[in-house]
Structure 1
Amino acid sequence: VLEMQAVAMACFHNQLLHSAASQKALSYLKDKRKLSAATIEEWQLGYALDSWDALSQYLKGKNFTHQEILQSGLVVPKERSQDYYDRFRDRVMFPIEDYHGNIVGFTGRTLKEDEGAKYINTPQTAVYNKSEVIFGLYKAKAAIKDEDQVVIVEGNMDVIASSGAKIKNVVAVSGTALTVEQIRILKRLTNDFIFAFDADQAGIRA
């Protein structure tokens, strides 16, 4: 499953940089979010094509089995058959690393204004446990140790933008729900937590 996540990341990243269909995604990252090409490369940001089976067909071409693809979290099983369709479609893709730098899942941000869910994440899999994963931690570990402080934000993009501004001790949790396990992991590095959640109702409640 880990190997497949890495293959999917490379596929998404290549599509962002080289697919004719990715111009809206590139414009979102470069023009709206003001990310440099170097930052996009560092975080291996990607683009999922607006297709029901582009990724799954690509993975089959890489000799992953039907069952392996089904268990990856990258596809959604169909209700009345053994088949599946791609989970992420027409979305900017953010790879999620575990504590050791392995790609374990993705967050996908929609590019469609009328899409119900702005962000969707990989579901629970053999390698992705939402309650333990902290976005950006692998890249931020050294800075957190050096500064003896961690800044916790809500969104993946907040982490990436901070990193681009040379603020490296920033990580994100999914929304505002910081779990006991995530706190335990962060406490290995520092006891000084700064929370910088959004100034909306969810952030205020947190």
Structure 2
Amino acid sequence: MIISLIGWKGGISKTTSAICLATLLARQGKTLLIDSDPNRSASLWARKGKLPFTTCTDNEAARELMSGGYQHTVIDTPARPGPDDVVAIARGADLLILPTTPDPLALSALVQLTQELPEGANYRCLVTISPPSPQTDGAEAIQALKRHGLPVFERAIRRRKEYIHAANEGRTVRGIAWHDWEAVWRELNDGKVG
């Protein structure tokens, strides 16, 4: 399976989502995360070698794919791709994940991005960096995306300090933060996506 994460806005947790999805896919088979974002945040996170998958840059991807025997690939794409790039990214993936924070500007950018997707693109929106309860920003964002007729994961990824610790230590996310990703994984495996 090839999953690409795409977004027009920075700070939407695209790289963190790529790391977590690659971790989930690595449970099923050998997984490669391709870091195409110029910031190289995924490569920096992976530098300590504690992740259960291989990470490479887009410049290294062809060689790695030819020699690696990977069952799954996750691509962390550059922010703000042009219309032609959006179409190419969509055509090159089995599934697109479109992360967004629950704020109105990010949601608006996401809706605009979906209008650039080619017809028949397989994608799901993912609300990230959602304030924990009792705040309802994440649930409200999910409902707003549904009102726009967009496919969206039922679980918002809540904001937790654990993500900062995991990135600093170069490891996977643990604890309460990981429960959100387990819920996303169940949606993927229940056939709701893909």
Q: TM-score, normalised by structure 2?
A: 0.28
Q: TM-score, normalised by structure 1?
A: 0.27
